[in-house]
Amino acid sequence: MPPKTNPLKLNPLQLRTLTILQGLASLPDFAAREANGEITITRFPQPHGDHFHLGNAVVATKDTTGLFNEAVWNALARKNLARTDWPHRLTLTLDGLQYNTGLAQEIFHLAQH
């Protein structure tokens, strides 16, 4: 039986935010790996018009509102997907890094410029 989609019942904003945080976690310019395998995001992207660049992908600004929302960070922490130091840094736990949001292909678009 395949794993249940969204077993923690994250709302759409939390799912989009976690997806983007997972993307940031893969980029050394934004994040650092901890000794226990968790990843701390210490830098957040600045929008460029209606989007921002994340590695070789483009993300629409409309999908990023949760990155700058303390309630979303706290919800991810309550579900043990992250630890937060609002608004400075967020550490994705191993569960947060592995959580399948199912949204990566919808949010990350190949950069056109």
Where does residue 14 rank: exposed (0-12), middle (13-18), buried (19+ CB within 10 A)?
Answer: buried
Domains and their CATH numbers in the chain: 12-110 (1.10.10.10)
Name the residue with tokens 């249940």: 4
Rg (CA), the chain: 13
Give me the percent of the chain exceeding a pLDDT of 90.
83
Q: What is the 3-state secondary structure (H, E, C) of 72-87?
A: HHHHHHHCCCEEEECC
Q: In whole angstroms, give the CA distance from residue 49 to residue 69.
A: 20
HSE at residue 2, side-chain half, CA atoms within 13 A, is: 3
pLDDT digits 0-9 by tens, 57-92: 999 999 999 999 999 999 999 999 999 999 999 999
**pLDDT bracket for residue 22 (50, 70, 90):** very high
H or E stretch covering 96 = helix 94-98
Q: In whole angstroms, give the CA distance from residue 42 to residue 44.
A: 7
Is 21 within 8 Å of 108 (Cβ atoms)? no
